[in-house]
Chain A
Amino acid sequence: MIANITIGQYYPADSTVHALDPRLKLLAVLVYIASLFVAKGPANYVIAAICLGAVVAISGVPIKFIVKGIKGILFLMLFTAGLHIFFTTGDTLLFSAWFIKIYLEGVTTALLMGSRLILLVMASSVLTLTTSPLELADALERVLKPFKRIGLPAHEIAMMMTIALRFIPTLIEEMDKIMKAQTARGADFDTGGLVKKAKSLIPLLVPLFISSFRRADDLAMAMEARCYRGDINRTRMNTLKMSRTDFWAMGVLALYLGIIIVVRIFFE
């Protein structure tokens, strides 16, 4: 039941968005997020939403997968919206009862803040849905490379991500197995109070830790045996190359940023 677990939320499909250089996608999301913070009025947000919608349409990822991401931040969204509605003061009083006063400005800010959060989360969902974790790790390594000079271990971070991705399914399988084995010995992971539940995790966690250390040991040995020595003199089989589509996409991205700025300066 756990064997077919998928890591992250990659949605494999054959679209232009999927095929884009992961570095470019990473950059695009950063630019998009920045544009959301540059944006001020409704016109900006409408443009941003239309553009994101277009990207989603091209990507072929079903909308429900993208909406799923928003559920996680629903509480945060309602909370901030609430704060804005109740505590922003302005000129146009909409509603007043007892000590509660709601102004028009409060409602608009709440709406705009809400849209900002939703668009932000949706944009990053599009990135993770259309880029496999492996590509992401790869892109991250290459994007961070320039920062190596100031001591950022770009290669090591990417390698750690790759290994984590590789071993998560293995460890989940192992956890499942240990859990069953201890259940067969009468362990009970489901009932009891908080303290009892925490205590019942010991027979699960101790073996899991021990096995993880053993695996780490083995893996280090196997990596050394295959001549691994960090990124000294290391090449990659898959080289990232910007294609014609990537340059087009970059152009579109620049255009988008330009429009947002122009609209912000002249129309809001």
Chain B
Amino acid sequence: MVKGKGLKFFYSAQEEGETPKPALDQLDISVKKGEFLAILGRNGSGKSTLAKHINALLLPSEGTILINGLDSLDEKNVWGIRQSAGMVFQNPDNQIIATLVEEDVAFGPENLGVEPSEIRERVSESLAAVNMSEYKKSAPHNLSGGQKQRVAIAGVLAMKPKCIVLDEPTAMLDPSGRKEVMDTVMRLNKEEGITIVFITHFMEEAAKADRVVVMDEGKIVMEGPPREVFQQPERLRSLGLDAPQATELVIALNKDLEGLGLPLLPPGILDMDEALEAIALRAKASESVESAPVSPSGDSAPALMKAENVTFIYNEGSAFEKKALDDVSLEIKKGEFAGLIGHTGSGKSTLIQHFNALMKPTSGRITLSGEDVNGDKSKLKSVRQRVGLVFQYPEHQLFEMTVFKDVAFGPQSLGLSQSEIKERVSKALAAVGLGEDVYEKSPFDLSGGQKRRAAIAGVLAMQPEILILDEPTAGLDPKGRDEILGQISRMREELNITVILVSHCMEEVAERVDRVIVANKGKIAFQGPPGEVFSHADELAEMGLAVPQPAYLMRRMRQRGFSVPEAVFTVEEAKAAILPLLAAGQGGSN
């Protein structure tokens, strides 16, 4: 389907005197018809550049690439290539052209000059293939992220492609949106036989592919079926990636089993269900399983912030009225590290905007140290200083000429003295791990992860008592995710502030926070220590939230009659819990 040989590509904008660095470097690639290929690699490894070569959006500087037998360097092939290899991009908003779903799906075939009656047929077929038929007359801006991506896929399908290239289509979606897209793509591959090239930062998604290609610095550095590629977690980590947690767990277990001289578990495990089967075969079940030990919650630290029966209704009194928060009561304690979890539309974003008085409750009140945040208008500024809110994709609000000036924007608005501002800015930048070398740089010249950290520093410089971060890891690669979360934990300890981490990713939250708060349909569904909250796995699954994978495994093992603790959130802890069982199982059979 795709055959690239000796591909080399340079982006033209090069600084004077710098030796041009190729984005693709002598790369050979071939994709077979009907294959599902996943491409992994850290940001800047050349994945997107490669994807754009498959669609003839970029042409190789050296080497050639044949798509469906057509050479992309031959100008007359361009339209044929783009028709046979469709492309879906990362940002769902920026690839929908028309104001109606069906008009947008029709855009491709219209450009190809297809007869109107046939376009109509193709549009309804394509929308049916992605389960979006009932939305054909909707306006794109009223759809969810997952729905928009499915429309984008339908738009490509309507061109009758042989191959679809998806460039991080799930990066900006929540778990349910990710699943929608993934299921759609899998179905198209299996049922329609469409070749799929899928770029992603999520290892669990890549694990579903037939073959995985790992890129770094414009080259392919690893290649093979996922079971083989993910067997090398250290290698992957050095490339800024990681392996699925199940794979890592089995590898860690095997390492210790080897040390104990015990037989190993089968290699090549990709998900927790496979791991469960492998472990269950060998581990020793205990006769009695005591009920889940629930650690006591509720300590006596004073509440710093309190939501009292807060209800918020969007567009009250109009046809679009929607209850976003429904009688929410919640306490945030001083010095606490809380995780707020919920999928899109659960009300979590609305709630945090109430915390610093960006939104005003329809009824109920929010208090900070006992005082109503909306009580005195002249104190709004001080409320917003005390409760720092970092929005999603905070790097999108950078605007100044230099990093220093941008971070100084907050303190300046507080009317502080120059020396005080300077001190706060340096402190804030140091707290996010940015050194003096970036002070005078333009924020727009920083790397993705650095930009985000600079933006977080912009809020930190206000020296808030409570720092709220909304999805701070959205859109980052695995290494970037780890870095930013580590930075937040360090920052919390150094600055001794209360932190609320908002996320839809359980793994991210579970191992770090003291308390998990689960929002669902405008209400607080659960709150308490992670172990307690994750014991409601079934209810959480119903809300479209999954428990962390190690916790999932422990739960399933308990159901099978193995005695393992429930409050386990990391691979390391899971290993410690399972190893004795495996050792005992082995001892018993000997």
Could you list which residues of chain A lie within 8 angstroms of chain B, going by C-beta atoms? 1, 3-4, 7, 133-134, 162-163, 165-166, 169-170, 173, 177-178, 180-188, 202-203, 206-207, 210-211, 214-215, 218-219, 221-229, 233-239
B141 touches A3 (CB 8 A): yes
* Given known A-B contacts A3-B142, A226-B82, A166 and B397 have beta carbons under 8 A apart: no
Which residues of B, 118-150, contact A by the 8 Å Cβ criterion?
119-120, 123, 139-142
* Given known A-B contacts A206-B399, A226-B111, A218 and B89 have beta carbons under 8 A apart: yes
Given contacts A226-B107, A235-B114, 8 further A-B contacts (CB under 8 A): A178-B397, A184-B356, A207-B397, A210-B444, A226-B86, A234-B111, A235-B109, A237-B103
B82 touches A227 (CB 8 A): yes
Partner of B141, one of A169, A181, A188: A169
Decide yes or no whether B99 CB sits under 8 A from chain A. Answer: yes
Decide yes or no whether B384 CB sits under 8 A from chain A. Answer: yes
How long is the Cα–Cα vector from A190 to B315 in the complex, in angstroms?
A: 22
Could you list which residues of chain B lie within 8 angstroms of chain A, going by C-beta atoms? 55, 57, 79, 82-83, 86-87, 89, 91, 93-100, 102-103, 106-116, 119-120, 123, 139-142, 155-156, 159, 314-315, 318, 320, 353, 356, 358, 381, 384-385, 388-389, 391, 394, 396-399, 409-410, 412-414, 444, 458-459, 462
How long is the Cα–Cα vector from A3 to B388 in the complex, in angstroms?
A: 25
Q: Nearest-CB distance from B29 to chain A (Å)?
A: 19
B116 touches A235 (CB 8 A): yes
* Given known A-B contacts A134-B100, A187-B413, A225-B87, A181 and B391 have beta carbons under 8 A apart: yes
Q: Nearest-CB distance from B59 to chain A (Å)?
A: 13
Chain A CB within 10 A, most for which of B110, B314, B315, B384: B110
Partner of A178, one of B97, B99, B106, B396: B396
B356 touches A234 (CB 8 A): no
Shortest Cβ distance from A184 into B: residue? B389
A211 contacts across to B, CB distance below 8 A: 396
B94 contacts across to A, CB distance below 8 A: 214-215, 218-219, 222
B96 contacts across to A, CB distance below 8 A: 166
Grouping DSSP codes into helix (H, G, I), strand (E, B) and loop, the B interface class, with mixed when no group exceeds half, is: helix
Partner of A186, one of B113, B381, B397: B381
Q: Nearest-CB distance from B461 to chain A (Å)?
A: 9
Shortest Cβ distance from A216 into B: residue? B94
B141 contacts across to A, CB distance below 8 A: 3, 169-170, 173
Nearest 5 pairs of A and B residues by beta carbon: A186-B413, A218-B94, A222-B95, A206-B399, A237-B106
A-B contact pairs, 20 of them (CB 8 A): A134-B100, A165-B99, A166-B99, A184-B391, A184-B459, A186-B385, A186-B462, A207-B399, A210-B396, A218-B89, A218-B91, A222-B89, A225-B87, A225-B89, A226-B107, A226-B159, A227-B79, A227-B82, A235-B114, A237-B102
How long is the Cα–Cα vector from A225 to B409 in the complex, in angstroms?
A: 40
How long is the Cα–Cα vector from A67 to B385 in the complex, in angstroms?
A: 47
A222 touches B97 (CB 8 A): yes
B413 touches A227 (CB 8 A): no
B399 contacts across to A, CB distance below 8 A: 202-203, 206-207, 210
Partner of A184, one of B140, B159, B358, B444: B358
How long is the Cα–Cα vector from A211 to B112 in the complex, in angstroms?
A: 30
B89 contacts across to A, CB distance below 8 A: 218, 221-222, 225
A237 contacts across to B, CB distance below 8 A: 102-103, 106, 109-110, 116, 119-120, 123
How long is the Cα–Cα vector from A25 to B174 in the complex, in angstroms?
A: 44
Q: Nearest-CB distance from A41 to chain B (Å)?
A: 44
Shortest Cβ distance from B412 into A: residue? A186
Chain A CB within 10 A, most for which of B87, B94, B142, B394: B94
Shortest Cβ distance from B411 into A: residue? A186
How long is the Cα–Cα vector from A210 to B444 in the complex, in angstroms?
A: 10
Chain A CB within 10 A, most for which of B96, B99, B120, B413: B99
How long is the Cα–Cα vector from A236 to B123 in the complex, in angstroms?
A: 12
B119 touches A227 (CB 8 A): no
